[in-house]
Structure 1
Amino acid sequence: MKVVCVGGGPAGLYFSILMRRQDPRHDVTVLERDPAGSTYGWGVTYWGGLLDRLHAHDPASARAVRDASVRWSGGVAHIRGTTTARPGDEGFGIGRHRLLDVLAHRARELGVRLVHSHEVTPADGPPDADLVVAADGVHSALRAHHADHFGTEIETGRNTYAWLGTTKTFATFTFAFAETPHGWVWCYAYPYGPDGSTCVVECPPEAWRGLGLDRVSDPEGLRLLEELFAGPLDGHRLIGGPQGEGGARWRSFRTLTNRTWHRDNLVLLGDAAHTTHYSVGAGTTLALEDAMALAGALRTAPSLPTALARYERERTAALLPLRSAARYSARWYENLPRYARLDPAQMFALLGQRHSPLLPYVPPQLYYRLDRAAHGLEPLRRFKRWLGPRLARTLEATRAR
């Protein structure tokens, strides 16, 4: 099969690796619009189960990803002068640039052709291939050209956020909340290597405008945020661009969905197909799992149309619980004042419960007590898991009417 993958991010590169491993006779090319060595963002995060799945599909790249990652467990929250720690699952961070280097090296090793500074636009016509994979991100030009067919919908979140780096190397996943006269501002930070961490800053639009973050210069905006989070940053800088240039680029998160993921021999992969709110930390994991599912469907299905339909069914079903979790996670932060007056330990506990569909409809202190009571009682935990989605659907249907 001749395959052209448009987009050289984690999804496109890993898919190309899997296709060559499945059959070295596949002719696989990755076309990336940016120059070699350039990327956006700082580090990405993932959780332990992904490494097992990577190892099952390609042990060589899995080992390289593991060796280039830093790991932590649990988390820390800073609020109102207190620091609260909670145990939790093991997490991993890796620089986005390093991840792409690992995957690109492995792809070349297997015979994939990587072509940089090559932008594919609808005006060029479709690439000449048996299969064209649109892995060109949330702003996918290939998807946008057939937006009516794909049924693309975009929902923009209320809060604004900036994706920053810092020279502070955090020991674990860290949350920090700062109250200002204009509302709350908060950040999530995690290490991705020995020299730095990713730091995502978020706030409601009224705080963003009230603090002047919508109009101050880039250096002034970064200095203001450094003052707000001076304690957790411990004197370290915030950095607005991957190479140290630029300021905070503020935006609102766009949740993207598509009614279908394929058209003839064109198929969507990763952020071109779907996005989930960054607060659940699943974007890179989902992109890599998309690649696994698509390669698997192509290996076992009797025809290309059957394979693409199978891939779409598998991944849309797998995404349902994560979409729900991401929606409720984003809502938790959009309603932060509801939780910010709790005792810090209680607030941090409910931060860990932010994916629950029941939480928005129960007074926070009551939910905390119920959750504590259910901790050692399996029947009560099962009842809570059963009640949450049903209550949420009922209340949301009532509100819609």
Structure 2
Amino acid sequence: MRIAVIGGGPGGLYFAYLWKRRHPEAQIDLFEQNVANATWGFGVVFSEQALEFLRTDDPETADAIAPQMEGWSNITLNLRGQRVEIDGVGFCSIGRLKLLTILQARARAVGVAMRFETQVQSLDQLQGYDLIVAADGLNSVVRRGFEGDFGFSITYSGNKFAWYGTSKRFETLSQTFVKTERGAFNAHHYRYAPDMSTFLVECDRATWEAYDFANKTVEQSQAICEQVFAATLDGHRLVSNKSVWRNFPWIWNERWWHQNMVLIGDALHTAHFSIGSGTRLAIEDAIALTRALEAESDVQNGLARYQTERQPIVKKLVKAARTSADWYEHFAEHMKLAPMDFAYSYITRSGRIDDARLRAMAPRFMAAYEAAKRAEVRHDS
């Protein structure tokens, strides 16, 4: 089988590697428009058990990634100078470029032909392939050519965000909420290397307009964010890498394949950064696509199986991501709550965690929260 993989992000690299490893006779050509060591953004975050979904079928890749990851077991929320820790909500992270480097090495080792600095501008360049895997992200050239056939749709969240890094080390995944005279800001920050952290700044449109960010340069916006979060950064600077203000794009495709073309990762669907699942979703898409193709005797039946089996799982997660994003759309209102109430609102925002689950996974936080509520009742009576 001849397969063209368009896009050298985690999803495309992992599919190319996985298929070639399991089918050495296949010809896999991966096309990536950027150089091998280029990436945007900084770190990517996974849940605490992030690599367990790899270990069953691919322990070697899991073992290659695991030593490069930073991990922690709590979430820290900072509001009005007070700090609330939520125990038992573990995460781990890795630099995006580090992850890509590992996956590139894995793909190269099994014989994937990787063509960096090669832009696919037309599908006419891909004649003769049995399968075209579109892993080329939000602006997928494959999807753009057949948007009606894929049932493509896109909407945008109202909040604005800019993705920075910093040399400030944060011990846990943290959220810092700051009220200024012109509006409210939130920063999502966590370390992805011993000496580097992601620092994603978010605000609502009213705040963005009050600061006139539309007419600010990248450097001017960065300076304002450094000032707003000066106490959090503790003397460290923000680092920019194409750190422009964006609205989060909600991408969805009702049909996941057309002819011999199939979508995975951000070309297919997006999930809000507040649940930290974009990279994992792309890799899991690659695994699901591989299994579906192997279970059927021809490509089109395999692609149909891929959508049938994988789509309900992704829909459930995207629904939770939308609920989480809706909470952030109104985070300035939530900031008026008492810190413990705010933390409870935050951790239950996606609708996937009820009180019983929270008592089991975060017993120290839940005991403190319930004690605070009992104290309120006594005070009111």
- TM-score of the aligned structures, taking structure 1 as reference length: 0.86
CA distance in 1, matches of 2:342, 2:93: 25
| Long gaps (5+) in structure 1 | 359-370, 378-401
- 1:321 pairs, out of 309, 316, 324, with 316
Quickly say closer, same or farther: Cα 1:60–1:337, change in 2 above 3 A: same
Which SS does the other structure have where 2:56 is aligned? Answer: helix
1:334 and 1:15 map into 2 onto residues whose CA distance is 34
My pick for the range that moved more, 133-142 or 120-129, is 120-129
How far residue 213 of structure 1 moved from its aligned partner, in angstroms, is 2.1
Structure 2 CA distance for partners of 1:135 and 1:85, relative to 1, 3 Å? same
Q: What is the DSSP-based 3-state SS (H/G/I as helix, E as strand, rest coil) of the residue aligned with 1:53?
A: helix
Alignment of 1:275-354 (within 5 A): 275-354=270-349
Q: Deviations over 1:102-159 (max 9, x none)?
A: 0000111111111101111226443431111011001001100001111100011111
User: Which residue pairs with 1:27 in the alignment?
Assistant: 27
- Larger strand proportion of the pair: 2
Superposed CA offset, 1:316-366 (max 9, x none): 1111221111111111011123311111121012111110289xxxxxxxx
Asked if structure 1 preserves the Cα contact closer than 8 Å seen for 2:77 and 2:176, the reply is: yes
Which residue in 1 is equivalent to 2:131? 131
Matches within 5 A, 1:8-19: 8-19=8-19
C-alpha contact (below 8 Å) 1:94/1:192 kept by paired residues: yes
Give distance in 1, aligned partners of 2:279 and 2:52: 15
- Tell me how far 1:375 sits from its aligned partner: 6.2
Q: AA paired with 1:97?
A: L
The corresponding residue for 1:64 is: 64
* Conservation of the 8 A alpha-carbon contact between 1:14 and 1:288: yes
**SS of equivalent residue, structure 2 residue 93:** strand
Partner of 2:89: 89
Aligned residue identity for 2:249? R
- Residues 169-205 of structure 1 deviation map (CA, whole Å, 9 limit, x = unaligned): 2111010001122221111011110121111111011
Are 1:356 and 2:351 counterparts?
Answer: yes
Structure having greater relative contact order (Cα 8 Å, sep ≥ 6): 2
Contact 1:57 1:292 in 2 (8 A): no
Code of the aligned partner of 1:181: E
Q: Is this contact kept in 1: 2:164–2:200, CA < 8 A?
A: yes
Q: How many residues align?
A: 360
Task: Write the mapping of 1:139-158 to structure 2, written as runs, cut at 5 A.
Answer: 139-158=139-158
Question: Which residue is equivalent to 2:114?
Answer: 114
Contact 1:42 1:198 (C-alpha < 8 Å) held by counterparts: yes
Q: Is the 8 A contact 1:4 1:127 kept in 2?
A: no
Per-residue deviation at 1:374? Answer: 8.9
**Cα shift at 1:72:** 1.0
Distance 1:66 1:170 in 2: 19
Question: What is the match of residue 244 of structure 2?
Answer: 249
Query: 1:265 is aligned with what amino acid?
Result: N
Tell me the distance in 1 between the aligned counterparts of 2:41 and 2:117.
19
1:235-274, aligned counterparts within 5 Å? 235-241=235-241, 248-274=243-269
Runs of 4+ off more than 3 Å: 123-127, 371-377
Identity fraction in percent = 36
Partner of 2:220: 220
| CA distance in 2 between partners of 1:373 and 1:300 (Å) | 39
Letter in 2 for 1:112: V
The equivalences for 1:166-181 within 5 A come to 166-181=166-181
Contact 2:2 2:27 in 1 (8 A): yes
SS at match of 1:57: coil
TM-score when normalising by structure 2: 0.91
Give ranges in structure 2 of 5+ residues lacking alignment.
Answer: 361-381
The whole-number CA distance in structure 2 between the counterparts of 1:124 and 1:200 is 39
Deviations 1:77-124 (A, max 9, x none): 111111111103321110000000000001111111111011112264
Distance 2:69 2:99 in 1: 9
After TM superposition, give the deviation of residue 64 of structure 1 in Å: 1.0
- Change in Cα spacing, 1:19 to 1:123, as seen in structure 2 (3 Å) is closer
2:75–2:90 contact (8 Å) kept in structure 1: no
Which piece of structure 1 moves more, 279-288 or 45-54? 45-54
Give per-residue Cα distances to partners, 1:283-323, cap 9 Å, x unaligned. Answer: 00000000000011111112211110011112211112211
